[in-house]
């Protein structure tokens, strides 16, 4: 059952003018006018607990969100229950755009940790496109970015070995976390279980465990506190033949 309808928007703890994300070097600076518009575009904040479903496949959510804090993942299910995780969502990521633009959601989103989301009204997207071509362009930019990540994931699942896949995935997530300042002291614990890794990489849980074990043995990562800590990102990237996501500053809507 869509739990989200029973959730109310908490008060705004983070007005856009004091957005904790925007100052990060990963995001491009906005003009005052843009900020103003986004600020009005934002309808409130939504807090969801770990394990909650943020968006459900098949639904027609009236909202779209930007992640303010916390981790989540997008996934699809096969009719017999097999699950495929498509991508992860972390601070600064827009979720629910597909549904907003095309109608019905074709995937679900679940929280990996407590999340705080900026809430936008799906219906106002048209207004944004009319009044702020620059922001409209930014939204397309974000869609293109998601597409890029999916391309990479597809390459990974399709053509990399289990060990390479695993190395790629964890380096990838770690890199993204780094970009949004989640590795203050130089380290983050990625809040995923090995089941999540398995469902992302198209592997069985058992084999995933054995693969992660190998990476641990090489000192590339460590499993602790119910998550994964990357110890040697460069090592993982090398193992995966991955160059990294050469990203310039991105927009934050």
CA distances to 1, 25, 47 from 112, in Å: 19, 25, 13
The listed partner (a copy of itself, DNA, none) that binds 159, CB under 5 to 8 Å by sort, is: a copy of itself
Q: Does 194 bind DNA (CB under 7 A)?
A: yes
Strands 221-224 and 189-190: unpaired
Residues 121-180 touching DNA, rule: CB under 7 A, are 161-163
Please name the residue that has the structure tokens 């679940």. Answer: 110
Q: Does 3 bind DNA (CB under 7 A)?
A: no
In the complex, least distance from residue 213 CB atom to DNA, rounded to whole angstroms: 5
Sheet strand arrangement including 115-121: 42-48, 115-121, 63-69, 94-95
Q: Does 204 bind DNA (CB under 7 A)?
A: yes
Q: Which of 26, 95, 188, 203 binds DNA (CB under 7 A)?
A: 203
Residues 9-38 touching DNA, rule: CB under 7 A, are none
Q: Do residues 177 and 188 make contact, with C-beta atoms less than 8 angstroms apart?
A: yes
Q: Do residues 72 and 50 make contact, with C-beta atoms less than 8 angstroms apart?
A: no
Residues of this chain that interact with a copy of itself (CB under 8 A) are: 74, 76, 78-80, 82-84, 86, 97-98, 101-104, 106-107, 125-126, 129-130, 133-134, 136-137, 139-141, 143-148, 150-155, 157-160, 199-202, 241, 246, 248
């Amino acid at each position: 059952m869509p739990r989200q309808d029973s959730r109310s928007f908490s008060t705004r703890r983070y007005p856009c003018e004091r957005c904790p994300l925007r100052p990060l070097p990963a995001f491009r600076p906005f003009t005052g006018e843009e900020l103003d518009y986004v600020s009005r575009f934002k309808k409130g904040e939504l807090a969801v607990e770990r394990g909650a479903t943020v968006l459900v496949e098949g639904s027609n959510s009236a909202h779209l969100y930007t992640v303010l804090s916390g981790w989540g993942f997008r996934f699809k299910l096969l009719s017999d229950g097999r699950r495929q995780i498509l991508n992860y969502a972390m601070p600064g990521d827009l979720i629910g755009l597909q549904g907003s633009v095309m109608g019905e959601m074709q995937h679900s989103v679940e929280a990996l940790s407590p999340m705080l989301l900026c809430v936008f009204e799906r219906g106002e997207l048209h207004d944004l496109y009319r009044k702020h071509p620059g922001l409209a362009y930014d939204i397309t930019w974000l869609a293109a970015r998601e597409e890029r990540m999916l391309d990479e994931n597809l390459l990974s699942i399709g053509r990399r070995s289990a060990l390479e896949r695993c190395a790629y995935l964890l380096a990838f997530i770690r890199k993204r976390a780094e970009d949004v300042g989640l590795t203050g002291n130089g380290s983050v614990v990625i809040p995923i279980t090995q089941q999540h890794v398995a469902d992302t990489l198209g592997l069985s849980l058992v084999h995933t465990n054995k693969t992660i074990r190998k990476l641990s043995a090489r000192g590339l990562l460590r499993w602790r506190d119910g998550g994964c800590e990357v110890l040697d990102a460069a090592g993982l990237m090398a193992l995966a033949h991955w160059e990294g996501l050469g990203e310039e500053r991105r927009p934050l809507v």
